Amino acid sequence: EKAEAIAEAANWVHLWLDVPADRSGEKPYQALINFNDKRKAKKGLKAEVAKIQIAAGPGGNPLPDSPMLLYTQDRSAKTFIHPDADGYAKIHDMIASSGTTGALGVGGGSKAYFHCRVHSAQGVIGIETSSLVPSQTW
């Protein structure tokens, strides 16, 4: 039972919410895209789905080592995942190998959907990385 709990915990990556795309300090007026903050205090944790997107590089291939955009369907949780974040490589590889393209086709980048749990009070989102959620319509 303890071994199962440890194995399950290894499938989760925890990330800070509201991390901007540019952390260099060279663009002090840059802000994270605000999709109308609908965050409310919730009782317990609700399982949700998060979309994570990778920008496309030349030829439509996912850009390596670039920030990935993460957000939930209602946009109440959003952040950028940078290459130095825990789980970046695993999430990037999952999207690059099994993700889908967006409305702009291969030139618009790749995306995939993950189960997540939002910990609003702590400013953290947990992403379940053992498998992808089937493609969503949003």
- 37 or 134, higher pLDDT: 134
Contact in structure between 81 and 61 (CB atoms under 8 Å): no
User: Is 32 domain-assigned?
Assistant: no
Whether 133 maps to a domain, the answer reads no
Say if 135 falls within a structural domain: no
Residue 33 lies inside a defined structural domain of this protein: no
Contact yes or no for 128/11 (Cβ under 8 A): yes
CA–CA separation, 116 vs 101, rounded Å?
21
Q: State CA 118 to chain mean position distance.
A: 11
Which tens digits make up the pLDDT trace of 53-101? 998 888 777 788 899 999 999 999 999 999 999 999 999 999 999 999 8
Residue 117 falls inside a structural domain: yes
Q: Is residue 138 part of a domain?
A: no
Find the radius of gyration of the CA atoms of the chain.
15
C-alpha 15/C-alpha 110 separation (Å) is: 20
Contact 20, 28 (CB under 8 A): no
Burial class (CB in 10 A: 0-12, 13-18, 19+), 58: exposed
Q: For residue 133, what pLDDT is reported? A: 96
Q: Which residues of 68-102 are buried (b: 16+ CB within 10 A; e: fewer)?
A: bbbbbeeebbbbbbbeebeebeebbebbeeebeee
* Tokens (6 digits) for 31: 């802000």
The pTM for the full model equals 0.80
pLDDT band of residue 27 (cuts 50, 70, 90) is: low
Residue 28 lies in a domain: no
How many structural domains comprise the chain? 1
First to last CA, the chain: 37
Is 137 a member of any domain? no
Mean pLDDT of 122-129: 95
pLDDT number for residue 42? 47
Give the domain extent around 44: 2-23+38-128
